[in-house]
Amino acid sequence: RDLMPRTLEGQITMEKTPSYFVTKEAPARISSMSKGTKLIVVVRDPVTRAISDYTQTLSKKPDIPTFESLTFKNRTTGLIDTSWSAIQIGIYAKHLENWLLYFPIGQILFVSGERMISDPAGELGRVQDFLGLKRIITDKHFYFNKTKGFPCLKKAEGSSKPHCLGKTKGRTHPDIDQEVVQRLRDFYRPFNMKFYQMTGQDFGWD
């Protein structure tokens, strides 16, 4: 709590890190700090997420093994290596089970990473509703950056400049063997179905 910014009554304090959702100790710690905390989790197609994760690592360590070799424990049998974090993180249903031991599903909003790109205002409308805020952010706040392939905020808070994703975002993904992509889709499918049931939301990944 001491690490959080001080806020007045009626203000909303927000804090984020992607690793909360997959860190085993996080739900209990957050619950003991504040049981009423509202949680927002941005998720995207776990296969695309894994390739994106690998691309990010590759940019820092160009000599790492190929995506294909890291994906499998055994390529011949097609056994997926679930200990590799790039694969492990996308098993959303498993991580969510841990959170539901401490928080009711109604306190968690799942935001679609795909819809954040195709309809940012619509998805942020859901976020504003969830937080009990007036819908101030609308379509007029965004424009699409064709170079990056992502929407940009027309005007960042306290600045006249538009705000787009930084250089480290939207990198071109390496070409991955389509057979490997298909194997991963088959691997994630039952976990995705379970996740859809748990959240009451079909994210359309397949």
User: Binding site for 3'-phosphoadenylyl sulfate: which residues?
Assistant: 44, 52, 169-173
Give the angle 64-183-202 at the CA atoms, nearest 5°.
110
Q: How far is CA 206 from the centre of its chain?
A: 17
Which residues define the annotated binding site?
Answer: 44, 52, 169-173
Helix 46-60 and helix 178-199, axial crossing angle in degrees, nearest 10 = 120
Strands 108-112 and 39-43, by their bridges, are: parallel
Please tell me the total number of residues recorded for the chain in this structure: 206
Neighbours of 172 (CB within 10 A): 7
